[in-house]
Amino acid sequence: MTAPLLSVRSLHKAYGALTVTDDVSFDVAENALHAIIGPNGAGKTTLIHQLSGSLPSDAGSVHFSGRDITRLGMVERVQGGLARSFQITSVFEGFTVLENAAMAVQARSGSNFRFFAPVARDRGLNDQAMAALSRVRLDDRADRLAGSLSHGEKRQLEIAIALATGAKLLLLDEPLAGTGHEESAVLVELMRELKATHTIVLIEHDMEAVFALADKVSVLVYGRLIATGSAEEVRRDPEVRSAYLGEEEAAQC
């Protein structure tokens, strides 16, 4: 059996007396989409912070591509091929769509942002940025200001930014949050296409999307994983239904 691309063991994070992630362990196979679901406040975003390196863990380990990255910060993890998109829209609205993607290409190379006129003139940088934009179908918006994009297009741009860093593994934190039906359909289709080339850890409350896309689903409740399995296994799990899914599916009916 091939080794997992991402291997998480016994991760733990507490804020004072509040334990937010507790003994969290799971593996993500290469080119799989692994969804992490759970009620509000379960610790999903905290877990993504721990995986991206923006938040140090109190205990546990993270291995990526066979390398122990537990003690690496976010910049080193991005340069190693692990990038996240943010739950809160995080694009630079006063810059063009292309400049946003080009800055992410620069981040990959480890250079500091070389201020922005040079970014716009750098052909190699722009080619790579355009490639990321066309993966998310924003190439025809390249010259627009990011601030002028619709909410759904901004979410597409966030994914392009993560792609432009050269990531092999994308950590996507609620990419469908706040999107309308059509925007959400575009993003679901994009994630389906990305599975062919990328490994994805997805946090998402939209259960229809999760069950349509996920190869594996883990369920986080009060900081602990109560189940990991195929979408079907998790959907049928009685503990998952009583702790989370019953209510969530009822709410979506």
Where do contacts with ligand ATP occur on this chain (CB under 6 A)? 15, 18, 20, 38, 40-46
Q: How many CA atoms lie within 13 A of 226 on its CB side?
A: 21
Strands (E), 113-181: 169-173
Number of residues in the chain: 253
**Minimum distance of ligand ATP from residue 184's CB (angstroms):** 17
Q: How far is the CB of 185 from ligand ATP (least distance, A)?
A: 22
Structure tokens at 211: 């069950």
Contacts of 174 (CB under 8 A, 6+ apart): 87, 203, 204, 205
Of 34 and 44, nearer to ligand ATP (C-beta) is 44
Task: Name the residue nearer to ligand ATP (CB basis): 2 or 40.
Answer: 40
Of 49 and 198, nearer to ligand ATP (C-beta) is: 49
User: 82: burial class by Cβ within 10 Å (0-12, 13-18, 19+)?
Assistant: buried
Q: Which is nearer to ligand ATP, 86 or 95 (CB)?
A: 86
Alpha-carbon span 101 to 98, nearest angstrom: 5
Nearest distance, CB of residue 169 and ligand ATP, angstroms: 19
| CA 34 – CA 215 distance, rounded (Å) | 6
Residue 46 beta carbon to ligand ATP: minimum distance, rounded to whole angstroms: 3
Q: Which is nearer to ligand ATP, 44 or 135 (CB)?
A: 44
The strand pair at 33-37 and 224-229 is best described as unpaired
Minimum CB distance to ligand ATP, residue 19 (Å): 9
